[in-house]
C-alpha cells in the first residue's frame, strides 16, 4: 500500500492508496491514448475573432481550477510534506502559472516552427512545408518528490505535454499521494475528457508505464539511479522513445577576488538551506579565495540557519549517508538542529583546491539536502582546469565585479551548465519564455531540452514535412492564408 506520512511526526496521514496493478495501468494508458486522439485534433489556439474550443482555453481553465482550490491543496500537501503554507501557496500559484504560460505559447504559435518553401522551376524544387506536431501517443510522467505541485501531477511536464496535444499518465510520487490524487481530481474537472490525465501508483505500474506501446515519451525528475533505471526499461522496449530526465546537480558557485563581499555569506547560506536543501538548484559547491574573514562569515551564516524535516524518511537516510562521505573533509560550520521526525541539520565543509582536485569525482557528487562544500583557492588561474573536471549541472554561478577577470571561468562554466548566473543565486527557477532548466549529464539526459519555461513543449513535438500536399489537407498553420496568424519562415524570410 502507498501510505502518506507527516514528516513532522513520522505518523501516517489518511487512508492508504493501493498500488496500481499491471492490468489497471494498461487500461489507464489505453484510455488516455483514446482520449488523446480528440485532444490532438483540438486547435491549440482560437482563430482570430473566434470563440471555438482550444487547448489554450482548457489550460487556462486548469489554472483557474488550481487557484480556486488552493486552500484545500496546500493543507493536504502540508500534512504530507511539512513545507508550510507560504511555500505551498506559492507553489500552487507557480503550477497555475505554468498552465497559463503554455496557453500563451499556443496562442503565439511559434512553437510549431512553421516553414514554407514554395516550389521553383529552376532549380526544380517541390513545394515543401514543415511544422511541429504532437507526439502521436501518451506521455508518461514520473512525479518529483521535492515539489508536490510544480514538478508533480500539476507540474511542468504535465502542462507542457497537454499543451503539445498529448494525453498524460503520471506515476505519482509515494511522498505525497493524497496531494497527487487531489491535484488529479482538480485538473480532470477542467479537462474535456478526464482520461486525458491518468494517475498510477507503485513500482510495478511505473514499469508498465515506461514499457507500454502507447507511451511515446517519458519525463522524469529525480535521482541519477532512478533515471538510469527508467532508461534501462526504455532500452528494453522494441521501439525506442525519448526520455527527458532531470537528475543530479551540484550547481557550482565561483567567487572571484573582485566579488562584493557584503551579503555574500548570507546569500549563500539562504540558498544552500532553502527548502531544507531539497531544491535541484541548491548550491552544493562554493569556490572562494583563501580569505580567513570570508570563511568566518560563511561559517557564521550557516551556523545561524536552522534545519527542518526532509520530505521522506528515505530522503533523510540518503542525506545522512552522503554526510558520511563529506565527513572526511574539514567541518566549517553546523546549523541549528531542525525539529520533526525527519529533521536534519545544515552542514558546511571545506577543502583546498588541490586536495579537492585530487579527490574528484567523488568529492563533488551531489548531497541532496542542506549540506555544501567550500573549496578555497590561492590563484584564480588554477580554477578553470579544476572546473573543467566537474560533471554537468543545471546551473553555474559567478560572483565578480570585473567581467574580464571572469572570462576564463565563464567559458568553462557555460559548457558545464544549462543556466549561468552572474552575482546571484541559483535557487528559484523562473517560469518564463527564456528559461532553460537542463544541462549536461548528469543534470539531465537531454541537455538540448528544458523542463521549465516555454521551450519545454518542444520535448513532446515532432516535425512533419509536407511535399506538394493539397491545400485542403494542410494544417492551418501551413496554409498560404495563415488563418491562425502564426509566425512563419516563408521562402527563407521570417514573417509575423
Q: Residues 183, 208, 280, 367: which is the catalytic one? A: 280
Q: Which of 246, 366, 367, 477 is catalytic?
A: 246
Task: Clarify whether residues 134 and 57 are in a common domain.
Answer: yes
Buried b (16+ CB within 10 A) or exposed e, 33-64: bebbeebbeebbbbeeeeeeebbbbbbbbbbe
- Cell of residue 302, nine digits: 550557516
Q: Could you tell me if 18 and 181 are in contact, meaning their C-beta atoms sit under 8 angstroms apart? A: no
107 and 241 together in one domain: yes
Compute the residue count for the chain. 496
- Share the mean pLDDT of the chain: 96
In whole angstroms, what is the distance from residue 374 CA to residue 298 CA? Answer: 9
The sheet with strand 243-246 has its strands ordered as: 197-200, 167-171, 138-142, 215-221, 243-246
Total domains present in the chain: 2
**pTM of the entire predicted model:** 0.95
- Does residue 479 fall inside a structural domain? no
The burial class, CB within 10 Å (0-12 / 13-18 / 19+), for 9 is middle
Q: pLDDT per residue over 391-419, tens digit each?
A: 999 999 999 999 999 999 999 999 999 99
Instruction: Report phi then psi at 374, rounded to 5.
Output: -95, 120
Residues 238 and 284 reside in one and the same domain = no
What range defines the domain where residue 417 resides? 253-422
Task: Supply the CATH number for residue 88's domain.
Answer: 3.40.605.10
Alpha helices in 42-84 (DSSP H): 55-68, 70-81
Residue 482 lies in a domain: no
Task: Verify that 201 and 109 share a domain, yes or no.
Answer: yes
Residues 91 and 158 in one domain: yes
Pairing assessment for the beta strands 308-309 and 343-344 based on DSSP bridges: antiparallel
Q: Is 472 a catalytic residue?
A: no
In this prediction, residue 50 carries a pLDDT of 65
In-domain check, residue 486? no
| Within-domain flag for 342 | yes
Average pLDDT over residues 172-194: 97
Query: Do 162 and 289 share a domain, yes or no?
Result: no
Query: With contact defined as beta carbons under 8 Å apart, do 33 and 167 qualify?
Result: yes
The verdict on residue 477 lying in a domain is no
- d(C-alpha 217, C-alpha 200), whole Å: 16
Do 270 and 169 belong together in one domain?
no
Give per-residue pLDDT as tens, 464-495. 999 999 999 999 999 999 999 999 999 999 99
137/159 Cα distance (integer angstroms): 16
Are 130 and 215 found together in one domain? yes
pLDDT at 181: 97
Q: Within this chain, do residues 329 and 410 fall inside the same structural domain, yes or no?
A: yes
Q: Strand, helix or coil at 186?
A: helix
Q: Sign of torsion, CA 49 51 52 53?
A: positive
Contacts 24+ apart (CB under 8 A), 466-474: 466/128, 466/129, 466/130, 467/126, 467/127, 467/128, 468/119, 468/126, 468/127, 469/127, 469/129, 474/129
Enter the DSSP assignment of 472: G
What is residue 47's predicted lDDT score, i.e. its pLDDT? Answer: 80
> pLDDT at position 266, please?
98
The pLDDT, as a whole number, for residue 169 is 98
Average pLDDT over residues 211-219: 98
- The CA-CA-CA angle for residues 60, 189, 38, to 5°, reads 75
8-state DSSP, 195? G
Asked whether residue 73 falls in the same domain as residue 157, the answer is yes
- The answer, yes or no, to whether residue 221 has pLDDT greater than 90, is yes
Q: Is residue 470 part of a domain?
A: no
Span 28-63, pLDDT tens digits: 999 999 999 999 999 999 887 666 789 999 999 999
> What Å distances lie between residue 233 and 52, 190, 241, 243, CA to CA?
41, 33, 11, 11
Active site residue 60: no
* Strand-pair partners of 371: 347
Q: Tell the residue number behind the cell numbers 577577470, with chain if given.
A: 405
Instruction: Write the pLDDT tens digit of every residue in 333-360.
Output: 999 999 999 999 999 999 999 999 999 9
Examine residue 193 and state whether it is found in any structural domain, yes or no. Answer: yes
* Sequence-separated (6 or more) residues with CB below 8 Å from residue 189: 65
Residue 254 reports pLDDT greater than 80:
yes
151 burial (CB, 10 Å; 0-12 / 13-18 / 19+) is buried
* CB-based contacts of 225-234 (< 8 A; 24+ apart in sequence): 226/142, 227/442, 227/445, 230/142, 231/445, 233/207, 234/210
Statement to judge: residues 19 and 95 lie in one domain: yes
Is 180 within the bounds of a domain?
A: yes
**Cell numbers representing residue 361 in the block:** 569525482
Domain endpoint, select from 371, 406, 422: 422
Show Cβ contacts of residue 276 under 8 Å, excluding neighbours closer than 6 positions.
Answer: 307, 308, 309, 310, 338, 344, 369, 370
Asked if residue 236 and residue 266 are part of one domain, the reply reads no
Q: What is the mean pLDDT of residues 180-186?
A: 98
Question: Is the separation of the CB atoms in 114 and 488 below 8 Å?
Answer: yes
Q: What is the CATH number of the domain that holds 332?
A: 3.40.309.10
The predicted structure's pLDDT at residue 362: 95
- Residue among 45, 163, 38 nearest 487 (CA): 45
Amino acid at each position: 500500500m502507498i501510505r502518506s506520512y507527516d514528516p513532522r511526526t513520522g505518523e501516517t496521514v489518511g487512508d492508504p492508496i493501493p498500488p496500481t496493478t499491471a492490468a489497471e495501468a494498461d487500461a489507464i494508458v489505453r484510455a488516455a491514448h483514446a482520449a488523446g486522439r480528440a485532444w490532438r485534433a483540438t486547435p491549440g489556439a482560437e482563430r482570430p475573432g473566434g470563440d471555438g474550443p482550444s487547448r489554450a482555453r482548457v489550460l487556462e481553465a486548469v489554472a483557474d481550477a488550481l487557484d480556486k482550490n488552493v486552500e484545500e491543496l496546500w493543507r493536504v500537501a502540508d500534512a504530507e510534506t511539512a513545507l508550510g503554507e507560504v511555500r505551498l501557496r506559492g507553489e500552487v500559484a507557480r503550477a497555475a502559472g505554468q498552465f497559463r504560460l503554455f496557453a500563451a505559447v499556443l496562442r503565439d504559435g511559434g512553437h510549431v516552427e512553421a516553414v514554407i518553401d514554395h516550389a521553383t522551376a529552376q532549380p526544380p524544387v517541390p513545394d515543401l512545408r514543415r511544422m511541429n506536431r504532437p507526439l502521436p501517443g501518451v506521455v508518461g510522467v514520473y512525479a518529483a518528490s521535492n515539489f508536490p505541485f510544480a514538478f508533480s501531477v500539476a507540474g511542468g511536464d504535465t502542462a507542457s505535454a497537454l499543451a503539445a496535444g498529448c494525453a498524460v499518465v503520471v506515476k505519482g510520487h509515494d511522498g505525497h499521494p493524497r496531494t497527487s490524487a487531489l491535484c488529479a481530481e482538480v485538473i480532470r474537472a477542467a479537462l474535456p475528457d478526464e482520461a486525458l490525465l491518468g494517475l498510477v501508483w507503485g513500482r510495478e505500474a511505473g514499469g508498465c508505464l515506461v514499457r507500454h506501446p502507447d507511451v511515446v515519451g517519458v519525463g522524469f525528475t529525480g535521482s541519477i539511479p532512478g533515471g538510469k533505471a527508467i532508461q534501462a526499461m526504455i532500452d528494453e522496449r522494441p521501439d525506442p522513445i525519448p526520455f527527458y530526465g532531470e537528475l543530479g546537480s551540484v550547481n557550482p558557485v565561483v567567487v572571484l577576488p573582485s566579488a562584493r563581499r557584503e551579503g555574500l555569506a548570507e546569500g549563500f547560506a539562504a540558498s544552500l538551506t532553502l527548502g531544507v536543501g531539497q531544491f535541484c538548484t541548491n548550491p552544493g559547491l562554493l569556490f572562494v579565495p583563501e580569505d580567513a574573514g570570508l570563511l568566518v562569515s560563511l561559517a557564521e551564516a550557516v551556523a545561524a540557519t536552522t534545519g527542518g524535516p526532509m520530505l521522506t524518511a528515505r530522503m533523510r537516510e540518503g542525506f545522512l549517508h552522503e554526510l558520511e562521505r563529506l565527513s572526511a573533509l574539514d567541518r566549517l560550520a553546523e546549523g541549528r538542529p531542525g525539529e520533526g521526525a525527519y529533521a536534519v541539520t545544515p552542514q558546511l565543509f571545506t577543502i583546498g583546491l588541490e586536495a579537492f582536485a585530487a579527490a574528484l569525482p567523488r568529492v563533488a557528487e551531489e548531497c541532496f539536502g542542506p549540506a555544501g562544500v567550500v573549496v578555497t583557492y590561492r590563484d584564480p588561474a588554477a580554477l578553470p582546469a579544476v572546473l573543467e573536471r566537474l560533471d554537468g549541472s543545471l546551473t553555474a554561478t559567478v560572483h565578480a565585479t570585473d567581467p574580464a577577470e571572469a572570462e576564463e571561468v565563464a567559458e568553462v562554466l557555460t559548457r558545464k551548465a544549462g543556466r549561468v548566473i552572474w552575482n546571484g543565486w541559483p535557487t528559484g527557477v523562473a517560469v518564463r519564455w527564456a528559461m532553460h532548466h537542463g544541462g549536461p549529464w548528469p543534470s539531465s539526459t537531454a541537455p538540448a531540452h528544458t523542463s521549465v519555461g516555454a521551450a519545454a513543449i518542444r520535448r513532446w513535438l515532432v516535425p512533419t514535412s509536407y511535399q506538394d500536399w493539397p491545400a485542403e489537407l494542410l494544417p492551418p498553420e501551413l496554409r498560404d492564408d495563415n488563418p491562425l496568424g502564426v509566425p512563419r519562415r516563408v521562402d527563407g524570410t521570417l514573417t509575423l
